[in-house]
Structure 1
Amino acid sequence: MSEKSEIRSESMSEYLLNEASDLLRAVAGNRRADESKKAVLRRVGREVKDWTASRIKDVWYRDPRVRIRADEVEYLRALLGTRKAKKDHVDELVSLRDRVSRLEQLLEATDPAVSRPGPAAFRQHLGEMGGKPGALD
């Protein structure tokens, strides 16, 4: 192997290691105030399947002896993509609920003939009876 190709290979390995470390940190998310770094790494270990605790730690700290394969980086990207899709879905649902609530309030405010309890009151009544929040949504 020539010297140039060795340098190129080393820089690519370093690039993949840095990206994998950044992706692991994104998987971990924000650290809670009462959470140690060790606890964060354990939490990441529950999400990143088939990786040992020592591999997660080595990638997290960018140990230069670690070699990352491209498929491992793709796995981490896919893991984050799945998480983002779930978050987007939840955000969309929250937005829809807010919109329905605003429309209900507008209907009640603009039409005094609507004397029946609105859907919001029904939801509240259901909650008081022990129903699950969002069961009607």
Structure 2
Amino acid sequence: MSEKSSEKSKMSSVEFVQCALHERISPVGSGRSVKDRIRAASRLLGWSFNRTKDAWYADPRISISADEIKEIEEIAGVRYGQSELSKNERIIARAEALLAGEEEDISRSFIAAFRAFLGAMDRAGTSRD
């Protein structure tokens, strides 16, 4: 891998971490100031304050390891994924209740297709925030 493409991949991972920190790990409202939000994120991640601050501001001099990215994805995404799953299950339950009076074969096909659609959206990462 060339040095230039390596730098781009590092930059994109740093930008990913920055976005996760701002939007998922320590969003607006989780602290009175940016410093409070960075401190809360550093505690949650188990990182030093300075490392978290560098990631917060997407300092191009830092690199983020694959393990760190995985940890951030788990911390930022698990809660979000669980709430999405719960929401989808409620939608499916409501659809099942609405279709209870209709022909069983049609409703089962519809529900199976709907579940497949939601699963495809989840895998593609196209859910709306």
Q: TM-score interval w.r.t. the shorter chain?
A: 0.5 to 0.7
The answer as to whether partners of 1:21 and 1:62 remain within 8 angstroms in 2 is yes
* Structure 2 portions without partners, runs of 5+: 91-129
Spell out the pairing of 1:49-60 with structure 2 (5 A cutoff).
49=46, 51-60=47-56
Q: In the alignment, which residue of structure 2 is the partner of 1:20?
A: 17
CA change 1:11–1:85 in 2 (3 A) is closer
In the alignment, is residue 10 of structure 1 matched against residue 7 of structure 2? yes
In the superposition, the TM-score normalised over structure 2's length comes to 0.58
Percent identical pairs in the alignment equals 27
Alignment size in residue pairs: 90
Give the whole-Å Cα distance in 2 for the aligned partners of 1:5 and 1:85.
36
Q: In the alignment, which residue of structure 2 is the partner of 1:47?
A: 44
Q: In the alignment, which residue of structure 2 is the partner of 1:70?
A: 66
Larger relative helix fraction:
2
User: 1:43: Cα distance to partner?
Assistant: 1.4
The answer as to whether partners of 1:21 and 1:59 remain within 8 angstroms in 2 is yes
Root-mean-square deviation over aligned CA pairs:
2.6
Q: In the alignment, which residue of structure 2 is the partner of 1:31?
A: 29
* Structure 1 portions without partners, runs of 5+: 96-137
User: 1:81: Cα distance to partner?
Assistant: 2.1
User: 1:35: Cα distance to partner?
Assistant: 0.3
Give the whole-Å Cα distance in 2 for the aligned partners of 1:87 and 1:5.
40
In the superposition, the TM-score normalised over structure 1's length comes to 0.55
Give the whole-Å Cα distance in 1 for the aligned partners of 2:15 and 2:3.
18
Q: Which amino acid aligns with 1:31?
A: G
Q: Considering only CA atoms, is the larger Rg found in Structure 1 or Structure 2?
A: 1
